[in-house]
Amino acid sequence: MSEGARISALRFSRRQALGALAGAAALPFAAPARAAAPVPVRVGYVPVIGASAFYVLDRAGWAKDAGLAITATKFDSGPAAISALASGTLDVLAIGVAPVAVAFSRGIDVRIIAAGGIGGSLFLAGGPLAKAFADAQGNPAQAFAAFRKANGKPARIGALPPGAVPTTAFRYWLKQNRVDPTDLEIITMGIEATQQALLANAIDGGQVLEPAATIVQQRIPAARVIATAPQMLPNAPGVVYAATGAFMRAQPAAVDALLKLAIRATELVRNRPAEAAPYVQQVLGSGLVSTTVLEKALASPAVSFVVDPHDIVPTTREMLDFQVELGDFKSAPKTDGLFDFGPWERVQGGAGKK
């Protein structure tokens, strides 16, 4: 090969190499891989401690990392959240079980896909009522009767409206312990109102939700925990996660991703409450409740955190039947078909109950 040919070949090879390098460098920009668009998930919740796993997976950014674009809307009650869901503005709920069961019975296309929190409240007695329970060695019927005799009036007990899980658990406990209904007066009031009434000695006791229960115990040393909701009605679901049929059919992968995150968040809440508390504080603290208080509330015996929907099926039926007896419903909402175990079984690899 002549000297000129070698130079020409060398130049050609150099141009090929440079061109190949330039092409390789430009390739990601010329034909970028399209990231999947985040899946919108509209979640309605009632701000109670039983939904703490949801607060964590949302506020910690896990949902965003998993490709879920969550829009969270707070509601004061479960029925209000159900109304929004029925209007088509929500996909997922983190609320009490009874409103979901009622909605399902009325033909609304919504099903429970996971448990969230068991209990979430406790019966707290102020000083004089706490003394009556101590004197009666913890016997509820004797304690309430003795309090009424000593004070000339029934004990005034603050509780959420009829139908709320804490109130249902409390009334179930009263019945099981054969407490005379005339020995106490149940006064309907909200979560914060019950806390304030106890602090002001305006009521004698209350079925108090966490973290309010922890706050009251810190501020009133004479107050005593008489019974927790899990003791009153074991495995009573304080919070469940439910999804619309339309969302589950359209976005099954998103439902599974959300459930996997709920499992992960529940493990954090159960095993490392100090790490979960800052995220829960963003929802329940309102800038007024410290992370220390919320850490104690997450570890309270008043609440336990579970995800497996199988765990709450029997108690859900029992509780709804009892609410008929209380007059909350004319007939118990149907539970056949209320639970959709499909998502749980998928994320568990088809193994079902864990």
The pLDDT of residue 17 is: 44
The pLDDT of residue 353 is: 55
Six-digit token string for 203: 């009521």
Token pair 């568990």 is found at 348
Whole-model pTM: value is 0.86
Q: Determine the topology of domain 39-120+235-347 in CATH.
A: D-Maltodextrin-Binding Protein; domain 2 (3.40.190)
The pLDDT of residue 337 is: 95
Residue 182, CB half-sphere, CA atoms under 13 Å: how many? 2
- Give yes or no on whether 39-120+235-347 and 121-232 have one common fold: yes
Domain boundaries, the chain: 39-120+235-347, 121-232
- 28 in the Ramachandran plot: left (φ > 0), alpha (ψ -120 to 50) or beta? alpha
Q: Determine the topology of domain 121-232 in CATH.
A: D-Maltodextrin-Binding Protein; domain 2 (3.40.190)
The pLDDT of residue 350 is: 62
Strands 303-305, 110-119: pairing is antiparallel
Q: Give CB contacts under 8 A, 24+ apart, made by 212-215.
A: 213/121, 213/122, 213/124, 213/297, 213/300, 213/302, 214/293, 214/296, 214/297, 214/300, 215/289, 215/293
CA distance 279 to 231: 28
The pLDDT of residue 352 is: 54
Q: What is the mean pLDDT of each run of 10 residues along the chain (354 residues)?
A: 45 44 42 71 97 98 98 94 97 96 95 97 96 97 98 97 92 97 96 93 97 94 95 92 98 98 98 98 88 96 96 94 90 92 92 52
